[in-house]
Amino acid sequence: MDNNVNLPDYQQHEENIDLKQILFKFLRYWYLFALAIFIALVIAFLFNKYTTPIYEVSTTVLVQDKGNKEVNAQALMGLGFINSQQNVQNELGILNSYTLTAEAVKAMNVDVTYYSENNFIIKELYKKSPFTVFYDSTHPQPVNLRFYITILNNRQFKLETQGENVKLYNFENNKFIDEQQGGESSFKTINLNQVYDFGTTISSPYYKFRVLLNYNFNSKEHANKTLFFTFNDLSSLVKEFRNMTIEPINREASILEIKAKGSHVEKTVDFLNTLTSKYLERDLNQKNLITTKTIEFIDRELIGIRDSLSEAESQLEGFKKEAKIMELDFESQQVFEYMKELDKQKAELLVKNKYYNYLKDYLQTKNEMTDIIVPSAMGIEDPVLAELIKNLTNLYEERSGLLLSSTPRNPAIIQIESKIANT
């Protein structure tokens, strides 16, 4: 019994001895632990100091339902919700398209990017550069080549650059020189080291621009400081700014959330604001185009109706003179009113006939339905025709959305083309 009672104390004593031995072994190498902690802190410091932070900003945009607003059998069966979701997906594709992003990038005027460099830390000077570069868009410019500027005083600056395999770009048509000439890739070697006056045209076969000081310039802050700028081609800028995700805020919502990432918060915010502005502007322009086309069509018909009425009045006056009729009796007045009603119906039928001819010509010659005049705008109440045009419009929009991210050989696009042909 005594042996059994003393055994746990013996084991505990042995364990205490083992822990002390292990602790002493580690303490003998304390300097290694201290060194490891120091190295980790240095790495963390350098990482935070020299790594460019990436920021994420977001915005939301309301997608307007372009379909029929009336409550009908499709809506009651849930098909209206499906059409609404298809519309959301189409608008999502438009927002994420190369074309819309390119329009936003052009509006931002970021063809030239300005930077400062200090102790290997490069910082973009978005809207804060002390100078502005004005380039000749009809002249080739070297893209992705650093032009270093040292501001000597408020009159002169030193310009330096050196680069091999530099590609030249034409900003007028947004093409590389070798692409517009249809030849093989041609790379240039550029070297420059010279002092210029601000406002002087700096020109060679490979570049042409002027450098001017702006209101951001501060002689104490920017004098003898390392600054540089680069020219950027449109494709590279679009690729940079398309680093975004677009998705509905929830499954049933018509509100899309756009999230974009970038190394400069203000620049990324400006891009999202410009993108949504261009998207809304595009939608407004499309509506204005449809309205303009409708007004032009109505104006043409009014001219025709006005001419017909003038001719009818002339004929009536001539008839009255020939028959020497001064006043119409009651029965004659009824006949005249009936004739006027027939003329009115004839005019309406002529308008409908011209609209149907317009619609036939539109469907035969157009490859999209962005500016079609709807029947109701012409006073044509034909539910079947209105539904067919609505379905065609939805199919064209769905096809346009898919073409933004795939080729015409995509099976989904082929299926939509088949539906369009059979509608």
The confidence score (pLDDT) of residue 69 equals 41
The confidence score (pLDDT) of residue 157 equals 95
Instruction: Tell me, yes or no, whether 314 and 201 share the same domain.
Output: no
In a domain, 384, yes or no: yes
Instruction: Please give the Cα distance from 307 to 343 (Å, whole number).
Output: 13
Question: Is the Cβ–Cβ distance between 204 and 196 less than 8 Å?
Answer: no
What's the CA dihedral at 214, 215, 218, 223 to 10 degrees?
0
Tokens 């004098």 label which residue?
Answer: 223
In a domain, 1, yes or no: no
Instruction: Tell me, yes or no, whether 193 and 116 share the same domain.
Output: yes
Residues of the chain with confidence (pLDDT) below 50:
1-7, 10-16, 67-82, 183-184
In a domain, 413, yes or no: yes
Instruction: Tell me, yes or no, whether 314 and 380 share the same domain.
Output: yes
Instruction: Tell me, yes or no, whether 318 and 189 share the same domain.
Output: no
In a domain, 391, yes or no: yes
In a domain, 14, yes or no: no
In a domain, 87, yes or no: no
Tokens 């364990």 label which residue?
Answer: 15
Domain finish residue from 207, 231, 255: 231
Instruction: Tell me, yes or no, whether 300 and 225 share the same domain.
Output: no
Give the domain range for residue 165: 111-231
Instruction: Tell me, yes or no, whether 208 and 291 share the same domain.
Output: no
Structural domains counted in the chain? 2
Instruction: Tell me, yes or no, whether 319 and 199 share the same domain.
Output: no
In a domain, 326, yes or no: yes
Instruction: Tell me, yes or no, whether 293 and 389 share the same domain.
Output: yes
Instruction: Tell me, yes or no, whether 295 and 418 share the same domain.
Output: yes
Instruction: Tell me, yes or no, whether 205 and 335 share the same domain.
Output: no
In a domain, 50, yes or no: no
The pair of structure tokens assigned to 409 is 């050989």
The confidence score (pLDDT) of residue 251 equals 72
Instruction: Tell me, yes or no, whether 219 and 120 share the same domain.
Output: yes
The confidence score (pLDDT) of residue 211 equals 97
The confidence score (pLDDT) of residue 10 equals 45
Tell me the percentage of the chain whose pLDDT exceeds 90. 30
371, 370, 369: which is closest to 297 by C-alpha? 371
Q: What are phi and psi of 38, to 5 degrees?
A: -65, -45
* Residues contacting residue 216 through CB under 8 Å, at least 6 positions apart: 128, 129, 130
